[in-house]
Structure 1
Amino acid sequence: MTATITQTPREWADAFERASDQDPEIQAHGRYFTCSYLLDMDTHTFVIEMSAGKVHNIAVDPDPLDRPYQFAIRAGVETWQGFGVPVPAPMFHGIWAASFQRDMKLEGDVLILMQNLRCVTRQIELLRAVGVPV
């Protein structure tokens, strides 16, 4: 499962921000979607800072102490690439399937993840449209 990288990590972050902020589902459910979380894609990391359902900031490849986050979603390149195709294969369709059957790990304050689960899940689904930068 090889993906062609056509965007820099910063371009990807900008596209992800636009897709998230314009997504009707996130806007319908995201009134209280306020948190910071890390997407660790092995070769690149991103701290997504959300405020009331809108992306406040996306830090690209921050140093470990630069940006605080409440929880992390970590996986290898192959797993993220599996999420970034229009029709994902089995076990690449959601974070739970990938955490049970692939190398995805959910770390940190999982309560905050659970409180924002629908919106985080939708943002992960947006990778099908914007791709992944790895």
Structure 2
Amino acid sequence: MLEALKERVNADAGLVRRGRYLTTTFLIQSGDTSWLISIFEGKIVSVTRGPFVMPSSSFALRASEGEWQKFFLAKPPPGSNDLMALVRRKTLRAEGDLQVFMAHLRYFKEALAKLRPAAGGAA
């Protein structure tokens, strides 16, 4: 699922420019599967699938596999179409240094929306 994230985000010059002040590593967990995503100045440099013994990340986004599947639909249902909607419904847990996540929220929303069919736009 997340393997295509690096290529899709890095191909969007506007999104990379929006994240030019963002350098971090964060974790996405879908059920029992985890990925570490490293970003340097808005470009995704690696997407590494776990399992990890002691992953090091700024923050983590954790949801069930079913919730991520709904989020990544071409037209997600209301409440599953936005990261903050998932948080509000308590189906997505955001943990760790949330200042990094919130300061670059639009970047993360648009980056993850790139995994939706038809290239995906802003969430």
TM-score scaled by structure 1?
Answer: 0.81
Q: CA RMSD in A?
A: 1.8
Question: CA separation in 2, counterparts of 1:102 and 1:25?
Answer: 31
Q: Which residue of 2 aligns with 1:73?
A: 61
**5+ long unaligned stretches in structure 2:** none
Structure 1: runs of 5 or more not aligned = 1-8
Deviation at 1:43, TM superposition (A): 3.1
1:85 aligns with 2:77: no
What are the residue-to-residue correspondences of 1:43-62 with 2, within 5 Å?
Answer: 43-62=32-51
Say whether the 8 Å CA contact 2:33–2:51 is kept in structure 1. no
Give the corresponding residue for 2:29: 40
Aligned residues: 119
Q: Moved runs in structure 1, 4+ residues, more than 6 A?
A: none
Displacement after TM superposition at 1:116 (Å):
1.7
Find the residue that maps to 2:116 and give its secondary structure: helix
Structure 2: distance between partners of 1:104 and 1:30: 23
> How far apart, CA to CA, are the structure 1 residues paired with 2:89 and 2:115?
19
Question: How far apart are the structure 1 equivalents of 2:14 and 2:74?
Answer: 18
Equivalent AA in structure 2 for residue 79 of structure 1:
E
> Percent identity among equivalent residues?
25
1:36-71 deviations in whole A, cap 9, x for unaligned? 100000131101000011111111114131x41000
Deviates more, 1:56-65 or 1:71-80: 56-65
Instruction: Name the amino acid aligned to 1:87.
Output: K
2:32 partner letter: T
Equivalent position amino acid for 1:119 in 2: Y
Deviation, 1:102, is 4.6
Task: Name the one with the larger helix percent.
Answer: 1
Q: Which one has a larger percent strand, Structure 1 or Structure 2?
A: 2
**Counterpart AA for 1:115:** A
Is residue 2:12 matched to residue 1:23? yes
Q: Which has the higher contact order (CA 8 A, sep 6+)?
A: 1
SS of the aligned residue for 1:123 comes to helix
For 2:95 and 2:87, how far apart are their aligned partners in 1? 11
- The separation in 2 between residues aligned to 1:25 and 1:73, in whole angstroms, is 24
